[in-house]
Amino acid sequence: MKPRTLLKTSITGTVIALICCFTPVLVILFGVLGLSAFVGWLDMVLLPGLALFLIMTGYALWRCKKAA
């Protein structure tokens, strides 16, 4: 994958994970859809996902810097 594409993808994923972690967007959405039983599991998915995207962003920045 090209460094710029990887950077755009990782930043997008990081922003989405941050929005879902620090605002009640998914809690409200799951409540409206009747899936509130899964709200307790959101932290088990979102926090590792956020960590993964942050690591991926760092790697993409390193590759962009190395390519330049």
CB atoms within 10 A of CB 42: 14
Per residue in 30-58, pLDDT (tens digit) is 889 998 888 888 878 888 999 999 999 99
Residue ranges covered by each domain of the chain: 3-67
Distance between CA atoms of residues 12 and 59, nearest Å: 14
Q: Which residue has the tokens 């460094």?
A: 3
DSSP secondary structure of 18-63: HHHHHSTHHHHHHHHHT-GGGGGGHHHHHHHHHHHHHHHHHHHHHH
pLDDT at 22 over 90: no
